[in-house]
Amino acid sequence: MKTDEHDTDTDLGETPAMNGLGVSPGIAIGPAHVFETGMVSVPEFRIAARAVPAELERFQDAVGKSRRQVRRLRKRATGLAESAAEELGFLLEAHLQMLTGSRLVRGVEKRIGEERVNAEWAVQAEISQISKSFAEVSDPYLASRIQDIRDVGVRLVRNLTETPFHAFSNLPKGSIVIAQEITPADTAIMNPDVVRGFATQVGGAEGHTAIMARSLGLPAVLGVGDLTESVETGDTVIVDGVSGIVIVNPDAKTLAHYEWRRKELVKEERVLARLKRMPSVTRDGVDITLQANVELPIELKSALDVGAAGIGLLRSEFIYMNRDDLPSEDEQYRALCDVIEAMDGRPVTVRTLDLGGEKLSMALQDQFADSVNPALGLRAIRLSLKVRSLLEAQLSAILRASAKGPVRILLPMISSSREVRQVRQILNRLVRRLRRKRIALADPLPPLGVMIEVPGAALSADGLATVSDFFSIGTNDLIQYALAIDRGDEQVADLYDPLHPAVLRLIQFTTEAALRRQIPVNLCGEMAGDPRYTALLLGLGLRDLSMVSAAVPRIKKRIRALDIGEATQRTRHIMDQWDPGRIATMLDDFNALA
Ligand code: PEP
Ligand code: MG
């Protein structure tokens, strides 16, 4: 789109750029806010002498609340396997002691009284002093307790600020967040009205932080080498999520260039938005269903705005994030009803908990030892089948909510038919229980489908199809496991290749198995939202794609320009190739024709 004098490289200006992975398109320009890892950003202020008793009371309330939370966690820990219960019991007992007339509590009270500072500041200062004195003693046991003290400090600050999320919500409007690492849970609490974009030192393009950024429409660049050393709070920063570039304190020419590019992107989005009411159909008349992936309820509006046919993937983790306790069945039921009602008759595919790995709930984090290899550990359906109460509460909530509109149940990280059969047994038992209580359920009951995201599941798709009502192909994990590339690790991001012939074969095999066994199949990994792959996915037989809402218009545009016959023929030729470079060229050449 060469429209005016800005569109040349020479207009870029002189300011050097830092390179990373552009994981969420768009350009954000604004003042930087640098977060230090592991610290909670707290308000700091002095208080009047007469305000001391009230501040002490506020602190005592937070101590009491923290003690109650730890006791609750300790009670829950008794339900674990023996050694885990014992280990966690010791740890939580130590936390309780730190919250009971300890040096920490006394020290904070002293600071409030003598230094007349607010309680959050006093906690932060005391924790930092205790940590320093522990670090000076060369005793490995004491050194390992530093983390416990910090954990207790963070809990106190959270309870004092009454929101765990003070850090992000207190930012000035329009800020760019700069941090070493931002977790998916952090991203979940970023308000796009306040945060304009973010950049981090760590993180890969297909990790959940990246996915969350795309869902919220926040431009983001991850994996930028020296980021936190090169930026200071207050610097003007440009985050170019398209090219994966971060620029600090740009000169006037660079700034003008990026302002112009940002406006161009906004214009382009506006043109695409006009496609909302147009059908998603190929040139030769084949209908393609385009659904939205949703991580957070605030995305429902965008899903409806872009005209998504339904929610193809509701990542239910949002109900479990950023809290110390687990949601009750009723709370889950209400959250699901809100989503189903908002979708107004469009189908909603609810995926059961995919916690573990990089997505952790605080309440559960405290209950399990860290896996040596979290991506291969106790996560997703494995965790749900181990902690049955979790799965039962969730399935029961979904079943009850199914009375409000069309719902499908999707199981993550399935690797064998046995897991599906186990879930079906539990589901049947819950249905009987709910019917006995005369609770309304959908009729027919919601279909039970499985994510195909483990290579072993893809290769045994025929067998899985005999116990599943539908398949949803999760290419994000499928690629990770097929190629042994951590999807969230920027150091190997260049090896994460959706066009690797092994990946394409797994998608092909799964799709064909579903068609053979006559069960519906869709694809909900990030590949679905990238127009580069659309022709190939349709050529492999897929007719239902689910993606981040923002991608729907672009994919629809691509579909309307495609001919299924031609796409299928080109895909056939591509599937005869073994060299990823050749595959990429053949696909890009085909895409360039449209
Ligand atoms: C996938 O793995 O492709 C997927 C859609 O699930 P998630 O990204 O939530 O792991
Ligand atoms: Mg997955």
How much is the pLDDT for 165? 38
Q: What percent of the chain has pLDDT above 70?
A: 88
Higher-scoring residue by pLDDT: 87, 152:
152
Residues having C-beta closer than 5 Å to ion ligand 2: 453, 474, 477
Judged against a pLDDT cut of 70, whether residue 7 lies above it is answered with: no
Atom of ligand 1 nearest to the CA of 211: 8
In the chain, the amino acid numbered 497 is D
Mean pLDDT of 201-228: 87
Judged against a pLDDT cut of 60, whether residue 234 lies above it is answered with: yes
Mean pLDDT of 120-142: 78
Mean pLDDT of 256-270: 93
Ligand 1 and 215: CB distance under 6 A: no
Atom of ligand 1 nearest to the CA of 476: 3
Supply 262's token pair. 């940002």
Ligand 1 and 474: CB distance under 6 A: yes
How many CB atoms are closer than 10 A to CB 421? Answer: 11
List, in order of start, the domains of the chain with CATH numbers: 13-37+166-259 (3.50.30.10), 49-161 (1.10.274.10), 277-453+521-593 (3.20.20.60)
Residue nearest to atom 9 of ligand 1 (CA): 315
CA of 476 to the centre of ligand 1 (A): 5
Spatial separation of the C-alpha atoms in residues 388 and 502, rounded to whole Å: 35
CA of 205 to the centre of ligand 2 (A): 14
Question: Which neighbouring-strand residues pair with 179?
Answer: 35, 200
Q: What percent of the chain has pLDDT above 90?
A: 62
Higher-scoring residue by pLDDT: 363, 305:
305
How much is the pLDDT for 459? 98
Say which ligand is closest to the CA of 525.
1
Ligand 1 and 317: CB distance under 6 A: no
| pLDDT digits 0-9 by tens, 325-340 | 789 999 999 999 999 9
Judged against a pLDDT cut of 50, whether residue 5 lies above it is answered with: no
Supply 96's token pair. 């309780």
* Average pLDDT score over the chain: 88
For ligand 1, mutation pick of 524, 530, 542 (most atoms within 8 Å of CB): 524
Cβ proximity of 26 and 243 under 8 Å: no
Cβ proximity of 239 and 221 under 8 Å: yes
The 3-state secondary structure of 471-500 reads EEECHHHHHHHHHCCCCCCHHHHHHCCCCC
CA of 544 to the centre of ligand 2 (A): 17
Judged against a pLDDT cut of 60, whether residue 424 lies above it is answered with: yes
Cite the active site residues: 208, 524
**pTM of this prediction?**
0.77
Ligand 1 and 525: CB distance under 6 A: yes
Mean pLDDT of 538-561: 97
The per-residue b/e assignment along 322-357, b for 16 or more CB within 10 angstroms, e otherwise, is: bebebbebeebbebbbebbebbeebbbbbbbbbbbb
Sheet (strand 21-24) strand order = 17-19, 245-248, 236-240, 27-35, 175-179, 195-200, 220-222, 21-24
Higher-scoring residue by pLDDT: 427, 163:
427
Spatial separation of the C-alpha atoms in residues 261 and 240, rounded to whole Å: 10
CA of 353 to the centre of ligand 1 (A): 12
How much is the pLDDT for 1? 36
Ligand 1 and 20: CB distance under 6 A: no
Mean pLDDT of 448-452: 98
**How wide is the angle at C-alpha 191 spanned by C-alphas 190 and 197, nearest 5°?**
70
Question: Which neighbouring-strand residues pair with 218?
Answer: none
How much is the pLDDT for 164? 47
How much is the pLDDT for 369? 62
CA of 68 to the centre of ligand 1 (A): 35
How much is the pLDDT for 399? 98
